[in-house]
């Protein structure tokens, strides 16, 4: 690998506004600089908000194509039905609304570079078209049979694990290896150490000029707190916090207690969406899936509790065999459950539920086996529906952002294209 001096790397940082001295960051810049003079396809991996687009600009600007066009495309923001037309163009009358012929991005950027962000969101049909461009430099417009040529360098980026997407059949294996000619891993903010302090200082300095106020400074406690925070939103999240503090705080020296008010207290290290590079493993769960899992666990416990109530009612009270059968209900108790089994099998006071058929009052006399069965099967009428919950979450996000799909999709943690598909699926106006 070609070695670049610290001065050369620093010069690139200054040119493209990159702040930080992390070894992982410097290595990523060095790889980008080495790949720039070539025409090789580059795959940039990293979490959302880590600054992947800056590396695409480095690669284009330091290449022989620097005088050609550079276009950045977010594949996740283009609806599935129109992405082929956007990328490869279409002929007049090829579909409803195609009133005239249109050039696609691969035709417009001939001789330049195209940055395909969120490549993992690209539909499989479009992936096949892209593979042909990468292998032969050929494409066909939508509604046409004529093969056209283009000379475009492709730089792709993703915040998902494409290997897992390949295993699940959501991404073409041949396309993955064709894209991954030169891999560049952009580290998340939490892996960049003291870069957090440098970035925070840069952001607060910029905002002090914008709002005509004195710059914010952090004391030692605040710096330690900042370095400990995981920043799942990476640089975007740090910039947002810096702006809030710059605008709202009267005291310009911020301590740990003040800074903690701007750091989300419930934002622990959730499973990251991205997994990239050796040694960077992650869960497939999104925050929404974690919420569903919690709801399912609650439903499971409730069903177990209903069964325990029914069995204890039918047997005349709680006893050791019933409790042992449903031991999983008591696993989270700090102290183990204890009871004394009398001749009448009466439970101890430590047991939270007591049903004594010998001491029914008038109201309990109406609580017969049929009523109990109704309670057990009540879940049929009040079942947790994933589709219903998902639709409610989408409606709430759209109302919150005044029906602006881009911001609603960001809030939900999904792509704009996925949100568009869900809106059609649930027939949301």
**pLDDT tens column, 328-342:** 655 555 444 544 444
Tell me the C-alpha distance between 44 and 28, whole Å: 9
Residues 395/428, Cβ–Cβ less than 8 Å: yes
**pLDDT value, residue 287:** 55
Residues 4/62, Cβ–Cβ less than 8 Å: no
Residues 248/210, Cβ–Cβ less than 8 Å: no
pLDDT-based confidence at residue 307 (cuts at 50, 70, 90): confident
**pLDDT value, residue 293:** 62
C-alpha separations of 396 from 79, 163, 411, 426 in Å: 21, 33, 10, 14
pLDDT in tens, 1-30: 567 889 999 999 999 999 999 999 999 999
**pLDDT value, residue 318:** 60
Tell me the C-alpha distance between 190 and 204, whole Å: 19
pLDDT-based confidence at residue 104 (cuts at 50, 70, 90): very high
- Using alpha carbons, select from 44, 4, 54, 283 the residue that is nearest to residue 182: 44
**pLDDT value, residue 284:** 43
- Annotated domain spans of the chain: 6-187, 190-260, 289-380, 385-425
User: With the CA atoms of 15, 18, 21 and 25 taken in that order, what torsion angle do they form, in degrees rounded to the nearest 10?
Assistant: -110
As a residue count, the chain comes to: 429
Q: Is the dihedral of CA 175, 280, 22, 210 positive or negative?
A: positive
**pLDDT value, residue 167:** 94
**pLDDT value, residue 172:** 95
Q: Is the pLDDT of residue 346 over 50?
A: no
Residues 6+ apart with CB under 8 A from 16: 54, 57, 58, 61
Domain 6-187 and domain 385-425 have a common topology: no
Structure tokens at 204: 């607060």
Q: Residue 54: how many CB atoms within 10 A of its CB?
A: 18
What would the mean pLDDT of 121-127 be, rounded to a whole number?
94
E strand or H helix at 185, and its extent? strand 182-185
What DSSP assignment string belongs to 60-114?
HHTSTTTTS-EEEEEGGGS-TTTHHHHHH-B-TTSSTT--S-B--HHHHTTTSEE
**pLDDT value, residue 234:** 94
Span of 52-66, 153-167, 317-331, 401-415 with lowest mean pLDDT: 317-331
Q: Is the pLDDT of residue 202 over 70?
A: yes
Higher model confidence: residue 399 or residue 331? Answer: 399
Tell me the C-alpha distance between 98 and 83, whole Å: 14
Q: What CATH code would you report for 190-260?
A: 1.10.8.60
What would the mean pLDDT of 291-305 be, rounded to a whole number?
70
Higher model confidence: residue 244 or residue 362? Answer: 244
Percent of the chain surpassing pLDDT 90: 53
Higher model confidence: residue 386 or residue 192? Answer: 192
**pLDDT value, residue 291:** 66
pLDDT in tens, 226-255: 999 999 999 999 999 999 999 888 889 999
Q: Which CATH architecture has domain 6-187?
A: 3-Layer(aba) Sandwich (3.40)
Q: What CATH code would you report for 385-425?
A: 1.10.10
Enter the pTM of the model. Answer: 0.62
**pLDDT value, residue 367:** 44
Q: Is the pLDDT of residue 36 over 70?
A: yes
Average pLDDT, the chain: 81
């Amino acid at each position: 690998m070609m070695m670049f001096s610290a001065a050369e790397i620093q010069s690139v940082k200054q040119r493209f506004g990159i702040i930080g001295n992390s070894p992982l960051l410097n290595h990523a810049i060095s790889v980008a600089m080495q790949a720039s003079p070539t025409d090789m396809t580059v795959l940039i991996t990293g979490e959302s908000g880590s600054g992947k687009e800056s590396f695409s600009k480095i690669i284009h600007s330091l290449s022989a194509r620097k005088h050609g066009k550079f276009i950045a495309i977010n594949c996740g923001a283009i609806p599935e039905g129109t992405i082929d037309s956007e990328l490869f163009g279409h002929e007049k009358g090829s579909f409803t609304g195609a009133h005239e012929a249109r050039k696609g991005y691969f035709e417009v950027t001939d001789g330049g570079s195209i940055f395909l962000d969120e490549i993992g969101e690209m539909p499989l049909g479009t992936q096949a078209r892209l593979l042909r461009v990468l292998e032969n430099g050929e494409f066909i417009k939508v509604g046409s049979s004529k093969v056209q040529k283009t000379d475009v360098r492709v730089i792709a980026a993703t915040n998902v694990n494409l290997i897992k997407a390949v295993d699940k059949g959501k991404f073409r294996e041949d396309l993955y290896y064709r894209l991954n000619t030169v891999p560049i891993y952009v580290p998340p903010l939490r892996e960049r150490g003291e870069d957090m302090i440098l970035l925070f200082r840069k952001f607060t300095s910029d905002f002090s000029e914008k709002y005509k106020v004195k710059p914010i400074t952090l004391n030692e406690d605040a710096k330690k707190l900042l370095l400990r925070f995981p920043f799942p939103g990476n640089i975007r999240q740090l910039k947002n916090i810096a702006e809030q503090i710059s605008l709202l705080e009267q005291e310009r020296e911020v301590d740990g207690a003040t800074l903690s008010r701007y750091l989300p207290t419930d934002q622990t290290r959730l499973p990251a969406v991205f997994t990239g590079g050796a040694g960077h493993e992650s869960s497939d769960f999104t925050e929404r899936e974690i919420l569903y899992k919690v709801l399912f666990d609650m439903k499971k416990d409730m069903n177990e509790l209903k069964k325990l109530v029914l069995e204890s009612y039918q047997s005349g009270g709680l006893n050791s065999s019933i409790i042992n059968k449903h031991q999983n209900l008591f696993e989270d108790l700090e102290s183990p459950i204890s009871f004394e089994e009398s001749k009448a099998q009466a439970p101890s006071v430590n047991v939270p539920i007591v049903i004594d058929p010998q001491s029914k009052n008038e109201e309990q006399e109406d609580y017969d086996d049929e009523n109990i069965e109704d309670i057990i099967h009540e879940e049929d009428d009040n079942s947790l529906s994933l589709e219903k919950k998902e639709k409610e979450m989408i409606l709430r996000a759209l109302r919150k952002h005044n029906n602006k799909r881009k911001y609603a999709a960001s809030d939900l943690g999904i792509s704009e294209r996925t949100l568009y598909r869900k809106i059609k699926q649930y027939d949301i106006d």
